[in-house]
Structure 1
Amino acid sequence: MVVLVVMLFTFTSCTSYDDNGFNLVFTTNIGDYENLGFNQLIHIYKYFDEASIYLYSFVELDDCEFKLNGEEIDIEWNYHDPGDYWLCIIYEDDMENINFDAGEKVDYYMEVNDEVYEGELEMLAELEVDWNEFDFDEDFEFDWNIDEEPDIYNTRMYFWYTLDVGLELIQKMWKIDGNKNEFSISKNIYEDYEESSWHYFYVRLYAINYVNHEECLVWTETIAYYESSKESNELITPHERMQEILEMFKNKLN
């Protein structure tokens, strides 16, 4: 339910956005990668013990071959519209001989439209994060540990709040060097909204290993998150709030 609510808020809210030095190679919208000059993406996604691979192409494919650790993997592309891209999802059951454990190095090879992208990507361990409790009067601080340093970290903060009847979103992103293990989000971002009737504070920390082939981006990450919310003290119920959000979402699509 939390994921659904987050997705709905993302699509419906008025947004104040600031990248604060964020590495824009890792954007939140798939379509933005094409604008950054990429034709293909290889995303090795691991959620706890389950691994899957997402292949994206922003150009029409005449032919494509994909290998992991020298083993050819069967792929099937599906066109997505809206979005205007092709997507292939490979699940772990189709990669039984590939080890995606932390510290393992995965060799990848993709030949598409006579272009070859190949290299090696090291899988990451889980992040262990010590989050401070969210307080409007304090900077939000957190520190973490991970077995091996990643290439980079980034963190994304989403702060939704309601004043009167409007739903607003402040969104900020930061790039963090891979040798760091602590970060602080300034209270100046949210301290003026303590009297809001409702708020939802959400932070994600990503550890990322990646290879940039200029026209093809390859990456894997591990993620940790923190959330804090305040229910409205007004007469509007959570159900009514959800109905309001759904109605706003429908209006956006029309």
Structure 2
Amino acid sequence: MHKIIYLFLLVALVTSCEQNNDSPFLYILDHDAQIVETDVEVALSGNLVFTPIVHASQMIVNWGDGSKITEFVNRDSAVVDAPPLKPLRYTFASTGNYTVNFRAIKITRLDISIDSVGQPINQLRLTNCRHLKEFSSVGQVLKSVNITTSGLKNVNFSNLPAMENFTISQCDSLSRITLDNNAILNTISLSNNPLLSATALNAMFQQLPLAKSDTRTIMLSNNAGDATCDKAIATQKGWTVNIE
């Protein structure tokens, strides 16, 4: 009798595992996870393809449309300096706004330039991408960027005319932020960036757009150059600089 019950439970367990095929086979610990999240706007029925370039050793992708989670593993991920994963390609079933989440190990390159992905991206969030060395977003319609990660030395926000705000924190290698053609930028938050010097902050201030009638704010906290940067460069352009 006990053997029959055991056999029944075993069959039920196997059946349950087979039916639960939406669960990813990759398991990435929270401590190891490097996360890229994008808000993608697919507006044209004749163009539903999304092709971001993400170099990583392993990756779980949730496309944000209810489809099955996709998993990618670099076959040579155990080999030092192995070739990265190829550019991704996904076709959405219909137009709409989708939050696409990449949960990965060892992301080294991210290219979401409009020519690369083929779709406009409104928001970008990078979390714990400590191996990221190259990041490009040329021509995007990015309105908001939030970067909480180490590894990046330079962040270039040039030619992002729709950008309204960005937040960068805990970037232990960041030494330069480049701005250009960011006419409606209104809020900047920088915190806990130990290599972001007064010289780097002053250079960023010089690239700020002129503030007219609206309020534009820069919030600084625990960056290397907070105490000695020249706030007047920004305030003379109509910006308010708050240092905590």
Common fold: TM-score over 0.5: no
Higher relative contact order (CA 8 A, sep 6+): 1
Specify the structure having the higher radius of gyration (Cα).
Answer: 2
What TM-score, normalized by structure 1, do the two folds share? 0.23
